[in-house]
Amino acid sequence: MSAPAAIRIEALHRRFGDLVAVERLDLEIPAGQIFGLLGANGSGKTTTIRMLTGLLAPTSGRAWVAGIDVVAEPEAVRRRLGYMSQRFGLYDDLTVEENLRFYAGLYGLVGEPGRARVEELIAGLGFTERRRQLAGTLSGGWKQRLSLACATAHRPAVLFLDEPTAGVDPAARRHFWEVIRGLAAGGTTIVVTTHYMDEAERCERLAMLWRGRLVAVGTPAEIEQQLGAPTLEDAFIALQEKDEAA
Amino acid sequence: MSLRTWPLWPMLRKEFIQMRRDRLTLGMMVGIPALQLVLFGFAIRTEVRHLPTIVLDEAHSSESRALVATLASSTYFDLVGQVDNRAEIPGWIGRGAAAAAVVIPPDFTRDLKRHRGAQAQVIVDAADPLSSASALQGAMLTSLTWAPDGTPPAARRPVELRVRPWYNPMLASSTYIVPGIIGVLLSITMVIITAMAVVREREKGTMEQLIVTPIDRTGLMLGKLLPFLLVGYVQMTVILVLGKLLFDVPLRGGLPLLYLMAFPFITASLGIGLFFSTLVKTQAQAMQAGFMFVMPNILLSGFMFPRAAMPEPAQALALTLPLTYFLEVLRGILLRGVGFDALWRDFAALTGFAVLTVALSVRRFHKTLD
Ligand SMILES: Nc1ncnc2c1ncn2[C@@H]1O[C@H](COP(=O)(O)OP(=O)(O)OP(=O)(O)O)[C@@H](O)[C@H]1O
Ligand SMILES: [Mg+2]
């Protein structure tokens, strides 16, 4: 790993009352990598991403995104990151174009540069015919695509995607991953959570979370090795069985 | 961040688009106050007139009988009986058999003949403010138009019909109440719609998305606040126009002054709504908080009960409510036609509330989820 770290996490810890949602997490993610966060429901994926995006303050520990301390300078970090939440964050009563213009505008993309960027996204993601459609009336796949477009309108250095393909059909998922790969090839660092093992296989590196704890990290092949399982799915299920036994 | 790239602008644009599309809410914001006012107005129109009235005629002259006949022929009073002395009046009114009594004193005829400005009395059961208001109106109209036959026009002098309200000496009349309605409705809707608007974004998950953008807290809060300021003005205008058309609310003072004074009041109400939005989690809770806030406003601000008649602690509490000051403003401008020199203290207080509530909610609003 010669590239500089786009994300560095040191002993990041978050409690909700008595519950430890993320336990002293250490991670380093190089720039331009597609990095997967895996783990069962409630294992702490969303909480980790929320801390990295400044949405939740860590109980302790530190993290740097694009070289900036997340806790000390949350606003500076926000200009450099894009975030697609589990709930898509679209305004159902705005059209495709209005959603894009709105989010681009919040990053200071207004006037001619703003309009140009919105047009670029509309054309690039195939929204030309749907530009005046209300976001609320889009199908799942198109909503996801629009949500991604909104999150990347300002060309962030680091992109966080929280279960971006949940409830989306295979064709839309394939298209989505093509776009993701394109972004990564352009230098964007991508952190993505997923419950689909075929998607996990497409990540360059993965972190496996179990009850807020990091239990394995590495390439998909390394993870299988570390957890002594023939496939990622087996590794995942072995962890879950461990969970039920505990 | 330059002014041109301030996230407030896209935020405002978005809010206006959403407002335009949300016809139902928009309709309710203007329609409900209008409906309430109309209902109130018609309730008064139907109840007010034809007050059962008794007469005590101590003058026993043709002039006094003519006055009684004029009063009876107006739609305000219906004669239901004659009494022979004052002691009988409380019985009639107390039983509810009469809502008003016309008393013509013995020297009425003499004063009238000397063009001295004769006096008669209309006693009303003011426990019902609506009937006293109508008695007042009926008596005024009659006194202005009535003169005994044969009086030369130059010598015509209005008969002074004194209305003596019983049971409610402060006389909360309809003209007194309607300006108050403007204030009460404004504060209810402003507080609730802002609180709801912020909480809705949180419930829908768009707030999470907004927070990760570089929008500053001030831009975000102002973006939520300014569009509703406009709604507040529209609402106030609707109530004023309807109040004038249906209800004959007088407009004695300057409208520009009223609109100026409304600025800090509406802003303060919006600020309170924003503040509530930082305390509650769901739209239902926002609604409840709004109504909980409105109750003391209605009871303490002087809208329903005169503040002077309230116990000291209640009076002190009333001073912490923006509505208390705005009612002074509304009544001062609409009913008494006073100018800024009489209202600057209220203006200062309202401005203080506006700055305080907005600053407090910007401070309380954190760009995090917890
Ligand atoms: N705001 C909160 N208050 C209390 N507990 C919370 C809060 N947010 C998350 N948790 C808890 O923290 C733990 C981790 O949750 P998190 O949402 O990070 O899991 P996740 O891996 O994203 O799960 P999923 O796959 O279901 O999205 C869970 O037990 C969850 O209930
Ligand atoms: Mg999650």
Structural domains in chain A, CATH included, are: 1-29+55-72 (no CATH), 75-193 (3.40.50.300), 206-246 (no CATH)
What is d(CA B262, CA B36) in angstroms, rounded to the nearest whole number? 20
B129 falls within a domain: yes
Q: Which of B166, B189, B205 is the last residue of a domain?
A: B166
B22 falls within a domain: no
A106/B212 Cβ within 8 A: no
B211/A56 Cβ within 8 A: no
Do B134 and B210 share a structural domain? no
| Confidence class for position B167, pLDDT limits 50, 70, 90 | very low
| Confidence class for position B159, pLDDT limits 50, 70, 90 | low
Q: Tell me, what's the pLDDT at A47?
A: 97
Do B147 and B72 share a structural domain? yes
B5 falls within a domain: no
- pLDDT, greater one: A235 or A64: A64
B258 falls within a domain: yes
pLDDT at residue A96 tops 60: yes
Give the helix/strand (H/E) hosting B364.
Answer: helix B340-364
Do B239 and B208 share a structural domain? yes
Indicate whether this complex's ipTM tops 0.95: no
Question: CB-based contacts of B196: which residues, under 8 Å, 6+ apart?
Answer: B277, B283, B286, B287
Average pLDDT over residues B136-142: 66
Do B254 and B343 share a structural domain? yes
Find residues 196-215 of chain B whose CB sits inside 8 Å of chain A: 204-206, 208-215
Q: Tell me, what's the pLDDT at B12?
A: 97
B205/A93 Cβ within 8 A: no
B31 falls within a domain: no
What is d(CA B338, CA B329) in angstroms, rounded to the nearest whole number? 9
What is d(CA A17, CA B38) in angstroms, rounded to the nearest whole number? 53
What is d(CA A192, CA A185) in angstroms, rounded to the nearest whole number? 16
Q: Tell me, what's the pLDDT at A30?
A: 95
The structural domain count of chain B equals 2
Alpha helices in chain A (DSSP H): 45-52, 74-80, 96-106, 111-124, 140-152, 170-185, 197-202, 220-227, 232-245
What is d(CA B184, CA B236) in angstroms, rounded to the nearest whole number? 11
Do B312 and B210 share a structural domain? yes
Minimal CA separation from B211 to chain A, in Å: 7
Q: What are phi and psi of B103, to 5 degrees?
A: -115, 120
Average pLDDT over residues A38-58: 94
Q: For residue A110, list chain B residues with Cβ-Cβ distance below 8 A.
A: 4-5, 9-10
Do B359 and B301 share a structural domain? yes
Minimal CA separation from A231 to chain B, in Å: 35
Q: Tell me, what's the pLDDT at B345?
A: 94
The residue of A71, A79, A106 whose CB has the most chain B CBs within 10 angstroms, and thus the best one to mutate to test that interface, is A106
CB A12 within 8 A of CB A45: no
Q: Which of B121, B140, B166 is the last residue of a domain?
A: B166
Kindly report which listed range (A26-30, B160-164, B194-198, B203-207) carries the lowest average pLDDT score: B160-164
Q: Which chain A residue's Cα is nearest to B370?
A: A56
Q: Which of B126, B146, B166 is the last residue of a domain?
A: B166
A106/B214 Cβ within 8 A: yes
Residue from A23, A38, A46, A87 whose mutation best tests the ligand 1 pocket (most atoms within 8 A of CB): A46
Do B182 and B128 share a structural domain? no
Do B340 and B282 share a structural domain? yes
A108/B212 Cβ within 8 A: no
pLDDT for A169-219, tens place per residue? Answer: 999 999 999 999 999 999 999 999 999 999 999 999 999 999 999 999 999
Average pLDDT over residues B313-326: 92
CB B225 within 8 A of CB B270: yes
Q: Tell me, what's the pLDDT at A200?
A: 93
- Above pLDDT 70, what percent of chain A? 97
Sign of CA dihedral A134, A135, A141, A142: positive
CB B103 within 8 A of CB B77: no
Residue from A14, A45, A84, A195 whose mutation best tests the ligand 1 pocket (most atoms within 8 A of CB): A45
Note the pTM of the prediction, 2 decimals.
0.79
Query: Considering CB atoms only, which of B9, B205, B369 is closest to A87?
Result: B205
Question: Ligand 1 within 6 A of A45 CB?
Answer: yes
DSSP state of A163: S
3-state secondary structure of B91: helix
Minimal CA separation from A170 to chain B, in Å: 25
CA B357–ligand 2 middle distance (angstroms): 35
B35 falls within a domain: no
Kindly report which listed range (A18-27, B22-31, B230-239) carries the lowest average pLDDT score: B22-31
Amino acid at position B362, single letter: V
pLDDT at residue A150 tops 60: yes
3-state secondary structure of A240: helix
Q: Which chain A residue's Cα is nearest to B21?
A: A93
Average pLDDT over residues A136-160: 96
Do B189 and B72 share a structural domain? no
pLDDT at residue A12 tops 50: yes
B34 falls within a domain: no
Question: CB-based contacts of A75: which residues, under 8 Å, 6+ apart?
Answer: B214, B216
Residue from A41, A87, A208, A240 whose mutation best tests the ligand 1 pocket (most atoms within 8 A of CB): A41
Is B24 an interface residue toward A (CB < 8 Å)? no
Other CB atoms within 10 A of residue A36 CB: 25
Q: Tell me, what's the pLDDT at B47?
A: 42
Do B160 and B67 share a structural domain? yes
Q: Taking all residues of chain B, what is their mean pLDDT, rounded to a whole number?
A: 81
For ligand 1, atom 31, name the residue with the nearest CA. Answer: A42
Q: Tell me, what's the pLDDT at B224?
A: 92
Strands in B160-166's sheet, in edge-to-edge order, are B77-82, B51-57, B100-104, B119-125, B160-166
Q: For residue B370, list chain A residues with Cβ-Cβ distance below 8 A.
A: 56-57
CATH number for the domain including B132? 3.40.1710.10
What is d(CA B213, CA A151) in angstroms, rounded to the nearest whole number? 9
B3 falls within a domain: no
Domain ranges, residue B349: 173-369
pLDDT at residue A72 tops 50: yes
What is d(CA B328, CA B326) in angstroms, rounded to the nearest whole number? 5
- pLDDT, greater one: B160 or B72: B72
Do B159 and B60 share a structural domain? yes
pLDDT for B87-137, tens place per residue? Answer: 888 888 777 788 788 888 888 888 777 766 677 777 776 555 556 666 666
Q: Taking all residues of chain A, what is their mean pLDDT, rounded to a whole number?
A: 93
What is d(CA B120, CA B159) in angstroms, rounded to the nearest whole number? 8
Do B335 and B243 share a structural domain? yes
